[in-house]
Structure 1
Amino acid sequence: MKKILVSALLYIIAFVAHAQQKPQYTQYVFNNYLLNPAVSGIENYTDFKAGYRSQWTGLDGAPVTSYLTVNAPIGSNFVNGDATGMPAAGGVNPYSRLYAQEYRAAEPHHGIGLMIVSDKAGPISQTNLDATYAYHLGITDKLNLSVGVMAGVNRISLNTSLITLETALDPAIANGNLSQWKPDLGVGVWAYSGNYFVGASVQQLLKQNLYFSGTNTVTQSTTVPHYFFTAGYKIYLTDEVTLLPSVLVKIVNPVPASYDLNLKAAFGDRLWIGGAYRHNDSFSALAGVNVNSVINVGYSYDFTTSNLRTVSNGSHEIIISILFNNRYKVICPQHSF
C-alpha cells in the first residue's frame, strides 16, 4: 500500500480501529440520556436538548460533536399525577433537603426518546440516529429502577477530498464504500431516588466491520462495545446550596479503562458551577443557569493536560435544554440534577 498522509492515517486509526469510537462529553451529568437509554422519560416533562462540543480547538481536523436529543414520559398516572412528589406549580425546591426527605418513588411509567449525534474528526464523519425506550418502576417507597434499550443506525463516511495520497488509486480507499450504514443497539439500567443515581449501560452491542477499501483486506477494523458506569450523590450544605459529586467510568476494550470525576455546586434552583477531571486528558470548568421553567443552559471548558496541550487550545462544550409541557413549572431538573 502506498503512503497515506500521516495525519489522515492517524484519524482513520483513531476512529475505526479498536479504540474509543464514541464521542466524549464533559457535561454528562447534564444529559445522561446520551449514555444510557434507561434515562428516557425520567422527568415529568418533555426534555429537549441541543449540544455542541469543539474538542482540542486550534488543532486542524480536531473532533467536533453536535447532537439533538428529546425524551418524554408516557403514562397518565405519572404525567398527570403527582408522581414525582412535587405539588403543582413547583412547590418544594428539588435542590432543597425537604424535597429529598419527602421524595417518593415515581408511578410506573414508560419513557421514549430520540437522539441524533454527529461526530466529525478530520476526514471521518459519523452520525448516529437512535430511538429509545425505558420502563420505570418504583421498587421501594423512595427508589426507582428503570431499564432501557436504544436501537437505530450509524452512518460512517470518509471524505477523500481531505486526504492527500501518494496515488489516487491507493488500495486503502480505491473502489471502496466510502459511506456506510450499520445497525446500532444499546441497553442500560438506571436506579435513582431524590438525592442519588447509579447507572450502567453498553453501546455498540452489534459488532460491525468497518473498512473503506474495495476488498476487506485493507484498513479493516470492527466496532467494539462501549461500557459506561455512572453514579452521583447530592450533598446538602444548606437548604439552598448542594454539592453533587459524580463519576463516569468508560471501558472500551482493548484500551485502558478511563474515568471522569465531576463536582457540581448548585445554588437554589438557578445557578450552578463545577469542576471535572478526565483521567490523563484534562481538567474542566463548568457553569450553568436555569433561566426559567422553559430554558436551561450549561457550558464547560476543558484544559488539556495530555501531550496534545502543545497544539490544543482546550475544548468547548455548550448545552441548551428546553422543557416542554412542564406542568409543574420545574426550573431545575429533578432527576438529572
Structure 2
Amino acid sequence: MRKILYITILLLLSTSTLNAQQIGMYSDFMRNIFFYSPAYVGSQEALVVSAGYRSQWVGFDDAPADFNINLLGSVKNQGKIGYGVGIYNQNSGLMNTTGIRLNYAHHFNLSKNIKLGLGIQPGYFQYRIRLYDAVTADEGDDVFSGNINSTNAFDINMGFNIYSDRFFVMASAQRILGKMIKFTNFNSQLQFHFNAIAGYNFEFEKQKIKLQPNILFKYTEPVPLQVSPMVTVKYDDKYDLSLMYRHDDAIGIIAGYTWKKRLTVAYGYDISINRIKKYNSGSHEVLISFIINNKKPTLEELDDSLNNSILDEYND
C-alpha cells in the first residue's frame, strides 16, 4: 500500500505539478512584466525595487503561492543598459521552488521615437519535494517521515521588446535549456515557455485619463495556448483600475494607487470560471513598488562618483 501511494505521488509531481507550475502566474502581468521578459529591464527611467505576492485558489490545501522581490535599474552607455536581480519563492502542493534571476538588457534607437530592447536572464533554481507533508493512510508512515527530495538547476530566458511612448510589443523564451532535473526517485524535464505581450497607451490629457489595453499570450507544452486580455484606466497618474480575463480560467479586477509618482500599491482579485470554481474562493495578489531614483546615471557619472568617494576617504 505504501509503495503504491509513494509511486502515485511521484507520478503526480513529475507530470502535473512540474509541468503546470514551473513558472508562476500573475493576473497583474503589466506590473510583473519583467517576470515575463528580461528585455523590459531598463526601459524605465528609474531605479525601482518591488515585491509581489500571489495566493492562488484560496480554499485548496497547499494551493500555489508565489513571492518575489526585485531590483531594476538602468545606465546610459552608447544607448541604454538595463540591469536587475530578482529572488522568488513558489509553493505548489508538496513542491517548493526557490530561485534567483539576473537581468541584463541593451536598448537601441530604431528611430526617433521607437526603441528596441534585447534581454537575457540567467537563473539558478532549487526544487524541493516535501514528502513529509504528504497525507497518508498510515499515520507516521516511515516512507514519508523526514523525507525531502531536492535538486538544483540552471537555465536561461531571452527576449526582445519594441516600444515607444505609445505602444510596445515584446516576446520571450523561458527555460531555453530545457534541462532534465533529477530527484532521488524520478526525473522531470523543465518545459520550454513562450510569452508575448502587446499594449497601447491612449491619452486624454484634458481629462487626465489614460486608457491602456494589453494582451498576454503564454504557451508551454502540453498546456494549450493561454490568452489574457486586460484593460486599464488611469486617472491623474495616481489611480488605476484594471479588468482582466484569462481564457477558460479566470476573470479579475486590479486596483492601484501611486503616491507622488514614487510609491505604488496594487491589489488584485480573480475568480475561477472553469471546473474548479466550486472548490475555491478566488486568488489574491498584492504588489508594492518604490522608485528610488528616477534619473538614470551615466557610466561616466558612476565613475566620477566612485572616484570622488575614494578621494574623500583618502583625504580623511
TM-score over 0.5 for the alignment? yes
Which of 146, 166, 177 is the matching residue for 1:195?
166
Q: Distance in 1 between matches of 2:104 and 2:295?
A: 22
Greater relative CO (CA pairs within 8 A, separation 6+): 1
Structure 2 match to 1:90: none
Supply the distance in 1 between the matched residues of 2:9 and 2:227 (Cα, whole angstroms): 27
Give the match for residue 210 of structure 2: 242
1:102-151 CA distance string (max 9 Å, x none): xxxxx711111001121101210011211110001111000010000001
Report SS of the residue matched to 2:26: coil
Is 1:134–2:105 an aligned residue pair?
Answer: yes
Aligned 1:302-317 pairs, distance under 5 A: 302-317=270-285
| Cα distance in 2, alignment partners of residues 57 and 164 from structure 1 | 19
2:293 counterpart of 1:325:
yes
Q: Is the 8 A contact 1:276 1:285 kept in 2?
A: yes
Name the residue aligned to 2:195: 228
Displacement of 1:15? 2.1
Distance 2:7 2:149 in 1: 18
* Alpha-carbon separation, structure 1, partners of 2:257 and 2:13: 36
Q: Would the alpha carbon gap of residues 178 and 7 (structure 1) be closer, same or farther in structure 2, given more than 3 Å must change?
A: closer
Deviations 1:249-283 (A, max 9, x none): 00101221111110000011110001000011100
1:65 has 2:63 as partner:
no
Are residue 3 (structure 1) and residue 1 (structure 2) matched? no
* Displacement of 1:152: 2.1
Provide the C-alpha distance between the structure 1 equivalents of 2:23 and 2:180, rounded to a whole number of angstroms: 16
The counterpart of 2:228, out of the listed 260, 278, 283, is 260
Alpha-carbon distance in structure 1 between the residues aligned to 2:281 and 2:50? 26
**Aligned length in residues:** 291
Residues 177, 163 of structure 1: CA spacing in aligned structure 2 closer, same or farther, 3 A cutoff? closer
Range 304-313 or range 57-66, more displaced: 304-313
CA offsets 1:6-65 (integer angstroms, 9 cap, x no match):
78864553222x445211011111121111111111111101110000000111100000
Please report how far the alpha carbon of residue 195 of structure 1 lies from its aligned counterpart in structure 2 after TM superposition. Answer: 1.2
User: What is the 5 A alignment of 1:273-292?
Assistant: 273-292=241-260
List alignment gaps of at least 5 residues for structure 2.
297-316
Give the 3-state SS of the residue equivalent to 2:287 in structure 1. strand
> How many Å separate the matches in 2 of 1:272 and 1:5?
49
Alignment partners' CA distance in 2, 1:197 and 1:66: 27
CA distance in 2, matches of 1:221, 1:175: 22
Which residue of 1 is the match for residue 94 of structure 2? 123
> Hey, what's the Cα distance between the residues in 2 that align with 1:7 and 1:312?
22
Distance 1:225 1:122, change over 3 A: same
Which secondary structure state, in structure 2, belongs to the residue aligned with residue 30 of structure 1? coil
- Structure 2 partner of 1:37: 38
- What SS is found at the alignment partner of 2:17? helix
Distance 1:20 1:52 in 2: 15
**Percent identity between the aligned chains?**
26
Q: Distance in 2 between matches of 1:67 and 1:4?
A: 32
Root mean square deviation, CA, Å: 2.4
Change (3 A) 1:243 1:293: closer
Choose between structure 1 and 2: higher helix proportion: 2
Contact kept? 1:19, 1:253, Cα under 8 Å: no
SS at 1:28's partner residue?
A: coil
Equivalent position of 2:179 in the other structure: 208
Query: Which segment is superposed worse, 3-12 or 243-252?
Result: 3-12
- d(CA) in 2 for partners of 1:206, 1:174: 34
**In structure 1, how many angstroms separate the alpha carbons of the residues matched to 2:62 and 2:135?**
14
Structure 1 5/55 Cα, relative in aligned 2: closer, same or farther at 3 Å? farther
Call closer, same or farther: CA 1:188–1:174 in 2, change over 3 Å. Answer: farther
CA distance in 1, matches of 2:7, 2:58: 21
Q: Which amino acid in the other structure matches residue 117 of structure 2?
A: S
Gaps of 5+ in 1: 77-106, 329-337
Q: Decide which structure has greater strand share.
A: 2
CA distance in 2, matches of 1:298, 1:72: 21
SS of the counterpart of 1:27? coil
Residue 307 of structure 2: aligned partner = none
Q: How does 1:90-101 map to 2 (within 5 A)?
A: none
> What is residue 311 of structure 2 aligned with on the other side?
none
Alignment match, 1:99: none
Distance 2:162 2:21 in 1: 26
